């Protein structure tokens, strides 16, 4: 005879769910790996075909759409692989302000189109840190994309950067509508998004994962009607 208490049944149910999620995660990573190569082939060949100046205008538009959608799909698969830790870190001594400036330059077009005014405040001297430049810039991109998405009517993004006992602290503050406490509690959950948009919902989860791999921390505070930082 087996007698299981409610608590034991609850624990077993959670273990089953955890096992299913682990299997789903492993399958997702494998599919992401498998999709990367054909997507790169599509992007590569469409790029070559677009170099042909004799292609009719309507066919060129079709090729551009194919290239854009394949690039978007590859970004999704790469986000999954990055979140799963498939991309190894390559550490070097870096100046975080330079990485931030490079990221701002990279995102200049989107920032301008969104009607965002960026202000950067730096408390020098800044400490140099050991980090993977590409991963840190990706964390910056994801964080700023989230801030821009929070300001669909335009606004201000203030970035404060300074050193504290050898650590570097960066604060991104936007003038969006703010985030409810319920949404805030899920803000770093994988695949979670409070807005309908393209992508995986891994942006902030991936950013936090990158920062934690660098022995850092990331948190969010917000108030409805007063923006987020």
Of 179, 173, 157, 175, nearest to 223 by C-alpha is 179
pLDDT tens for 78-91 read: 777 766 665 677 88
Residue 161: strand, helix, or coil? strand
Burial 213-227 (b: 16+ CB within 10 A, else e): ebebeeeeebeeeeb
Token look-up 């992007």 returns 43
> Quick one: tokens of 103?
């990221």
Question: What is the reported pLDDT for 155?
Answer: 94
As a CATH number, domain 6-83 is 1.10.287
What pTM was computed for the model? 0.66
pLDDT value at 199 more than 90: no
Domain 92-213, CATH number (from 2.60.120.10, 3.30.565.10, 3.40.30.10, 3.40.50.10470): 3.30.565.10
* Band (45; pLDDT cuts 50, 70, 90): confident
Name the average pLDDT for the chain. 79
Q: Across residues 120-149, what is the average pLDDT?
A: 88
Q: Band of the pLDDT at 200, cuts 50, 70, 90?
A: low
DSSP conformation class of 178: -
Question: What's the Cα-to-Cα distance from 45 to each of 23, 37, 48, 65, rounded to whole Å?
Answer: 34, 12, 5, 13
With a cut of 70, say whether residue 120 has pLDDT above it: yes
Q: Report the helix count and the strand count for the chain, using DSSP H and E.
A: 7, 5
As a whole number of angstroms, the distance between CA 120 and CA 132 comes to: 22
Residue 198 has pLDDT above 60, yes or no: no
Cα separation, 82 vs 30, in Å, equals 13
User: How is the chain split into domains, by residue range?
Assistant: 6-83, 92-213
Each residue of 2-31: pLDDT tens digit?
444 445 454 555 554 555 545 555 666 666
């Amino acid at each position: 005879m087996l007698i299981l208490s409610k608590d034991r049944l609850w624990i077993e149910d959670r273990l089953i769910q955890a096992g299913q999620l682990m299997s789903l995660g492993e399958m997702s990573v494998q599919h992401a790996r498998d999709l990367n190569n054909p997507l790169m082939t599509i992007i590569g060949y469409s790029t070559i075909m677009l170099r042909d100046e004799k292609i009719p205008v309507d066919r060129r538009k079709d090729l551009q759409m194919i290239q854009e959608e394949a690039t978007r799909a590859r970004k999704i698969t790469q986000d999954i692989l990055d979140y799963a830790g498939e991309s190894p870190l390559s550490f070097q001594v870096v100046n975080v302000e330079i990485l931030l400036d490079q990221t701002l330059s990279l995102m200049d077009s989107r920032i301008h189109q969104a009607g965002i005014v960026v202000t950067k405040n730096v408390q020098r001297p800044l400490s140099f840190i050991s980090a993977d430049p590409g991963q840190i810039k990706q964390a910056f991109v994801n964080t700023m994309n989230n801030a821009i998405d929070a300001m669909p009517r335009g606004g201000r993004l203030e970035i404060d950067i300074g050193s504290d006992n050898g650590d570097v602290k960066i604060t991104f503050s936007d003038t969006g509508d703010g985030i409810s406490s319920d949404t805030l509690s899920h803000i770093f959950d994988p695949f979670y998004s409070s807005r309908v948009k393209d992508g995986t919902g891994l942006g902030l989860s991936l950013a936090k994962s990158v920062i934690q791999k660098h022995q850092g921390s990331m948190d969010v505070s917000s108030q409805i009607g007063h923006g987020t930082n």
